Chain A
């Protein structure tokens, strides 16, 4: 207890000395502890004299200042916090995975996905199309078009509402929405569509012939000519027996139009052919079996590809929208 008191008294005297008081005055305040306090307080005052030489401080002050300035100038930038680094790493990893996933899945998309761009249309003359065959892409139309001479195609389509179709077609359409209608449909879709790159390698003449034969397996190829049509689209113009002219897109390998020469008109009855060739002909391979019969109605749903549906709708819209 006495020791604790002495500690407190010593602290009191230390504070008094720091405030300018003297040792003697402190001893007078605590005479009972004077014998113990005096040597300790003398030690404290002596310790206060223990100082670093001023000359050394002033010399080193300038030296250290220069060193500090040098170090600050060469100090590395502040590092990013570890949490931020981890977050950035995760984001980068996710981006890389997304890019890889996109790269792997991208080639599986049909070429029409980004191949068709909106186009303007002019129609001459255009009879009022039946309600079910308008170019409204939100409707589900099932037109039955009987096309001269023997092509009967039924398209059941569910167009993607995101597609905007504005055919730049000069259409001479005689719609035959009912099975009994007299089909004199002559459609010349003039798609000013610019088929974007990405469809693959340009179609060779032989591949174009193969495409045509997939649709008209019994036809005889009369001539094949590469030309530019439809506002700048490079096509293979394949003339076959029966005065039929088939225009095949060089870039994407899709059949754009089938002209029935006998009537002097063009038909878009190849809508399904287009679809089918799109589904199988992009790679230049021989067509799928579903396309081999030109008389057979070809349903785009067979492909199960909504993007193809867009392409079909494009053509069916032209074909039946008259």
Chain B
């Protein structure tokens, strides 16, 4: 499993200030620290790897351009980047917000098991999970990815999805419930 260590808020503010002064090192640091979660967020929504790269590049080009101007993020850089990534994904798929349902290829479990049999089992289980995820609505997919895939807290997720925290609680509950139901029914991946 990838452990993403994001900078502390104070350090993030310093990075943003340096980025605003167009310091290449700050921009590079921000990119290296935030690319993995942003890319993972995009990749979990976009089947095509090349498209995911293009969208990620769009996100960071926008950030680099904004970082030097008055539209630079001032508070939560992570929320800003996720928001831009989310908008790019929606731009990519249009207003219908219908995401592809084909299963992803060559994905591996987040953590590797020493036991090959256990690894196969986990791989099989994750394959089912990915299939079940594609059957959910776009909003349900999004809330699960943000909350459990990217570990955004309730408020961040609510801000990003333009919903209240109560709505996010309800949405995530129903999403997990639906995912559980799909997995129990064995409709996917078998």
Q: Which applies to chain A's interface (DSSP): helix, strand, loop or mixed?
A: helix
Q: Which of B7-15, B36-44, B73-81 interfaces with chain A?
A: B36-44
Least CB distance from A16 to B in Å reads: 13
Q: Is A301 part of the binding interface, using a Cβ–Cβ cutoff of 8 Å?
A: no
| B contact residues around A56 at 8 Å (CB) | 43, 49
Q: Which of A40-48, A164-172, A211-219, A254-262 interfaces with chain B?
A: A40-48
In the bound complex, how far is the Cα of B129 from the Cα of A65, in angstroms? 31
| B contact residues around A64 at 8 Å (CB) | 35, 39, 53, 56-57, 60
In the bound complex, how far is the Cα of B57 from the Cα of A69, in angstroms? 9
Partner of A50, one of B53, B149, B183, B184: B149
Least CB distance from A312 to B in Å reads: 63
| B contact residues around A75 at 8 Å (CB) | 61, 65
**Are B61 and A50 in contact, CB atoms less than 8 angstroms apart?**
no
Who on chain A is nearest to B63 by CB? A68
Partner of B107, one of A43, A48, A52, A78: A52
> Which residues of B111-161 are within 8 A (CB) of A?
111, 122, 125-126, 129-130, 133, 144, 147-149, 151, 154
Q: Is A53 part of the binding interface, using a Cβ–Cβ cutoff of 8 Å?
A: yes
> Which residues of A256-274 are within 8 A (CB) of B?
none
Q: Is B190 part of the binding interface, using a Cβ–Cβ cutoff of 8 Å?
A: no
Q: Which of A6-14, A125-133, A238-246 interfaces with chain B?
A: A6-14
In the bound complex, how far is the Cα of B44 from the Cα of A53, in angstroms? 11
Q: Is A54 part of the binding interface, using a Cβ–Cβ cutoff of 8 Å?
A: yes
Least CB distance from A176 to B in Å reads: 78
Q: Which applies to chain B's interface (DSSP): helix, strand, loop or mixed?
A: helix
Who on chain B is nearest to A9 by CB? B173
Number of interface residues of A (CB under 8 A): 34
**Are B126 and A49 in contact, CB atoms less than 8 angstroms apart?**
yes
Partner of A57, one of B39, B151, B172, B184: B39
Least CB distance from B54 to A in Å reads: 8
Q: Is A206 part of the binding interface, using a Cβ–Cβ cutoff of 8 Å?
A: no
**Are B57 and A49 in contact, CB atoms less than 8 angstroms apart?**
no
Partner of B169, one of A8, A46, A47, A53: A8
**Are B173 and A57 in contact, CB atoms less than 8 angstroms apart?**
no
Q: Is B93 part of the binding interface, using a Cβ–Cβ cutoff of 8 Å?
A: no
Q: Is B179 part of the binding interface, using a Cβ–Cβ cutoff of 8 Å?
A: yes
Of the listed residues A50, A53, A64, the one surrounded by the most CB atoms of chain B closer than 10 A to its CB is A50
Q: Is B180 part of the binding interface, using a Cβ–Cβ cutoff of 8 Å?
A: yes
In the bound complex, how far is the Cα of B182 from the Cα of A183, in angstroms? 124
Q: Is B2 part of the binding interface, using a Cβ–Cβ cutoff of 8 Å?
A: yes
In the bound complex, how far is the Cα of B69 from the Cα of A210, in angstroms? 73
Q: Identify the 6 closest CB pairs spanning chains A and B, nearest first.
A: A51-B110, A67-B57, A47-B148, A49-B110, A52-B40, A7-B173
Q: Which residues of B contact A (CB under 8 A)?
A: 1-2, 31-32, 35-36, 39-40, 43-44, 49, 52-54, 56-57, 60-61, 64-65, 69, 106-111, 122, 125-126, 129-130, 133, 144, 147-149, 151, 154, 169-170, 172-173, 176-177, 179-180, 183-184
Can you list 30 A-B pairs with a CB-CB distance of less than 8 A? A7-B169, A7-B170, A7-B173, A8-B169, A11-B173, A14-B148, A15-B154, A18-B151, A39-B180, A40-B180, A48-B149, A49-B109, A49-B111, A50-B126, A50-B149, A51-B2, A51-B149, A53-B106, A57-B35, A57-B39, A60-B53, A63-B53, A64-B35, A64-B53, A64-B57, A67-B53, A67-B54, A67-B57, A72-B61, A78-B69
